[in-house]
Structure 1
């Protein structure tokens, strides 16, 4: 989600490298072999063979969760590196790594840096040796339908060779920035997020603030979101009762009825959405001192556009906060007091603040 680094994962270790990614729904086993070029002190650039194994559960619908388990990364380090480390008296090597991974899901492209731990590895007298690197991957919500890929990039390691007695060698700790050798398929995992779930239905609670009246009005209702084949929204607000005071002491009440008007569109992204909504506003009852002053046909003279955006913590599968601001145009057909009532309601700076709960 930002919460973005919730994301995916991939791990790659070179001489500490690991590769991770996350999904959630049908177990998919991955065994990927790649080659990298990494610079070493004293001996220059070396080619390393990396093997990544993991099990992924991939989501079947947008808003589902991606999880990963059984991540195991092996890095084969060539004999020349072994001999170079022996020159400084190294008996073992250990450290950390940071792998570059990219999650692509519909319109979402998310670069992720995954921290890894390189286990202490005892060095042989000569010949290649194999290092193991691991890292943990949090669950990840995949917001969009369609093809989703987890692609590996380069990685950086911070390695510390040590002598047999545990003391440092003359190299201390060194950093090696490794690059993926060209001509390889670096996609760790590819899967389709299905379209079996074509929409979401929520109950709605919250408020709308009418700035000109100086009042905040409780709201209830429902909200339907269609994600296939294109995004559309359909808010349904129950009639709401506004209580206000003119000049700070004249008590008044008004019934507000917000209903969809025209095309309702929007877009998905990063686990939430923005809904481009148009609302008709009817004000069939307005009373001052308990006396009705509006005809039942009283309403806003034009549709009210408002962008309703999901907030922090929103998830399509569960719901969460949604907010938006709007302007009320002049009122019409309110009877003899149309002009006066219009002046009470119209203006900018009005706001919706609601919470959606999945049904």
Structure 2
């Protein structure tokens, strides 16, 4: 009996040892990820105003899956200002705040990047001849979807340039400027370009 028990215990210990060896040799199933921060700066062309709105300097923080190239991220941009001539002759300015409103996700593959995100656009001030009128609640009635693709080579470790196109939905709560703003900018195709530089 003791001999049989010894054989059973020996076999069991052999199975445990083999299982441990296989566990060590097996590849790790959890994907490796890393975080990268990019200085972010660029501009967007507001077709309806015939004006460029500077973007940044801000920051883009991403969390990338090193195996698949998939990533998620957050773009943070400061309030900025554009100057233009309303109706071709009236000196006008607008202060604008762009805030990420939904997940930013994309993929790095073959030295290129594609990404998509949702953003809220708020006009915080409008004015003429540098006399500003605050607009505390003037913003888009829906989030703006922006699809971005790299222009030229994009190296995750250093950065690159991304471009895209988008349209603005109607604005609301802009006081007496609501109708004018919507007539000028809603439904127009606008372009955007941003340069991302990896921070050391």
TM-score by length of 2: 0.76
CA contact (8 A) 2:33 2:63 kept: no
Q: Distance in 1 between matches of 2:105 and 2:91?
A: 38
Shift of the 232–325 alpha-carbon distance from structure 1 to 2, 3 Å rule, reads: same
Match of 1:327 among 128, 146, 167: 167
How far has the Cα of 1:293 moved from its partner? 4.9
Match of 1:217 among 53, 65, 68: 53
Q: Distance in 2 between matches of 1:195 and 1:287?
A: 51
Q: Distance in 2 between matches of 1:200 and 1:309?
A: 18
Indicate the structure (1 or 2) with the bigger Cα radius of gyration.
1
- If each structure's helix is expressed as a fraction of its own residues, which one has the higher value? 2
Superposed counterparts of 1:15-34, under 5 Å: none
Q: Distance in 1 between matches of 2:43 and 2:71?
A: 25
How far has the Cα of 1:314 moved from its partner? 1.4
How far has the Cα of 1:268 moved from its partner? 2.4
How far has the Cα of 1:329 moved from its partner? 0.9
- Tell me the secondary structure at the aligned position of residue 182 of structure 2: helix
User: Are positions 1:357 and 2:197 aligned together?
Assistant: yes
- Tell me the secondary structure at the aligned position of residue 356 of structure 1: strand
- If each structure's strand is expressed as a fraction of its own residues, which one has the higher value? 1
- Tell me the secondary structure at the aligned position of residue 337 of structure 1: helix
Superposed counterparts of 1:234-249, under 5 Å: 234-249=74-89
Q: Distance in 1 between matches of 2:35 and 2:45?
A: 29
Q: Which residue of 1 aligns with 2:116?
A: 276
- Tell me the secondary structure at the aligned position of residue 234 of structure 1: strand
Gaps of 5+ in 1: 1-190
Match of 1:287 among 127, 148, 170: 127
- Tell me the secondary structure at the aligned position of residue 339 of structure 1: helix
Q: Distance in 1 between matches of 2:108 and 2:151?
A: 13
How far has the Cα of 1:345 moved from its partner? 2.6
Q: Which has the higher contact order (CA 8 A, sep 6+)?
A: 2
Q: Distance in 1 between matches of 2:193 and 2:118?
A: 16
CA contact (8 A) 2:74 2:103 kept: no
Provide the aligned C-alpha RMSD in A: 2.2
TM-score by length of 1: 0.44
Gaps of 5+ in 2: 1-26
Give the total of aligned pairs: 168
Q: Deviations over 1:233-254 (max 9, x none)?
A: 2111121111111122101111
